[in-house]
Amino acid sequence: MPSSRPVSLTARALGAALLLSTVPAVAATAATQGPTPAAATAVPAAAPTVTAAEVMPHLQALQRIADHNGGNRAHGTRGYAESVAYVKRALDRAGFQTQLRRFSHDGKDGYNLIADWPGGDPDHVLLSGAHLDSVPMGPGINDNGSGSAAVLTTALQVAKAGLKPERHLRFAWWGAEEAGLVGSADYVKNLSADDRKAIDLYLNLDQAGSKNLQQYLVVKDEKNGGAAAFKAFENWFGSRGFATFDIPLDSSDTESFGKAGIPTSGFSSGVSDCLHSACDDLANVDPATQATSTNALIGVVWQYATASATARP
């Protein structure tokens, strides 16, 4: 049922951005039809790898959006609405089934973008996500355009490969993380008991392109059963000569899922000197680190997507 609340500036901006993107505007939830599972090809033998040239254009696009909208992409702004529209357009064209889920915070509408790849066991979901919003003080290109770009690139690689996964693959871009994990908390709160149980594992990326990389900070969730996913990331990085350090669940949107008892992992490339500042722009991202982070997510997503859906994550 359509909301009876007045449509905010953000909702109007999101609608306009979606129209300009040739995607139908929606008020709260929209879905598009993608290819049927039968159209997917056989599972590739190994995960694909990408270069910085395949990831950085997404960050360049988010920088342009911020530049055209007062220097930021924060919750409730036109900059955030256009960021959502950009990601949604890419996913729709690739054949994902997308939904916009509206929530409200501080009197402003916010949106989570959810994208499902057709196929896989719906009772065993692998969910990967990142927050898409910035702080009002800057464009948020490392925090967290970098994580959003890595998740988007991973989703597009799934489509490019025509992956036919064992687990159902879902990707998400959260709103209002910088306001206190609002978007991801709203998503988890509104899951039915069955839908919550169906999520085998949540993987989160926050700050994936830091220039001062010393070690990867990997979320270790032993309480809810996410330790194996932690080990998968640790092994991926270790086999390529990167040091890791474990961090707790309360470091980002992982907290929303951990509180609900959903197994969780993910990682960060570390906090940059420009955190929450105007200088968190395109120059604040190291392309090589961004590519490594993206390939780590692709590798672990492929591992869990192609394993038996009944195997413990």
Q: Which of 54, 82, 166, 177 is catalytic?
A: 177
> Between β-strands 108-117 and 97-105, what pairing exists: parallel, antiparallel or unpaired?
antiparallel
Q: What is the mean pLDDT of residues 250-275?
A: 95
* Two tokens, residue 231: 């080990």
E strands, the chain, are: 97-105, 108-117, 121-131, 167-174, 199-205, 216-219, 244-247, 264-268
Confidence of residue 4 (pLDDT cuts 50, 70, 90): very low
Peptide bond into 144 cis (omega under 30): yes
Question: By CB neighbour count within 10 A (0-12 exposed, 13-18 middle, 19+ buried), where does 82 fall?
Answer: buried
Task: State whether residue 173 is helix, strand or coil.
Answer: strand
Q: In the Cβ-directed half-sphere of 69, how many Cα atoms lie within 13 Å?
A: 28
Tens digits of residue pLDDT in 102-146:
999 999 999 999 999 999 999 999 999 999 999 999 999 999 999
Tens digits of residue pLDDT in 226-256:
999 999 999 999 999 999 999 998 889 999 9
pLDDT at 172 over 70: yes
pLDDT at 304 over 60: yes
* Two tokens, residue 295: 């390939």
Q: How far apart are the C-alpha atoms of 123 and 135, rounded to whole Å?
A: 36
Verify whether residue 178 is a known catalytic residue: no
Give the pTM. 0.89
**Partner residues linked to 38 by β-bridges:** none
Mean pLDDT of the chain: 89
How far CA 278 is from CA of 131, 141, 284, in Å, comes to 18, 10, 10
Contact predicate 58/308, CB 8 Å = no
Tens digits of residue pLDDT in 55-107:
999 999 999 999 999 999 999 999 999 999 999 999 999 999 999 999 999 99
The reported pLDDT for the residue numbered 311 is 73
**% of the chain exceeding 70 in pLDDT:** 85
> Between β-strands 121-131 and 108-117, what pairing exists: parallel, antiparallel or unpaired?
unpaired
Q: How far apart are the C-alpha atoms of 285 and 268, rounded to whole Å?
A: 13
| Domains of the chain with CATH codes | 9-306 (3.40.630.10)
pLDDT at 277 over 90: yes
Q: What is the mean pLDDT of residues 11-28?
A: 47
Spell out the residues 6+ positions from residue 288 whose beta carbon is closer than 8 angstroms to its own.
Answer: 52
Higher-pLDDT residue of 10 and 118 is 118
Report the candidate in 178, 214, 184 with the shortest Cα–Cα distance to residue 199. 184
Report the candidate in 55, 198, 19 with the shortest Cα–Cα distance to residue 120. 198
Confidence of residue 42 (pLDDT cuts 50, 70, 90): very low
pLDDT at 26 over 90: no
How far CA 284 is from CA of 2, 62, 94, 107, 244, in Å, comes to 41, 13, 29, 32, 21
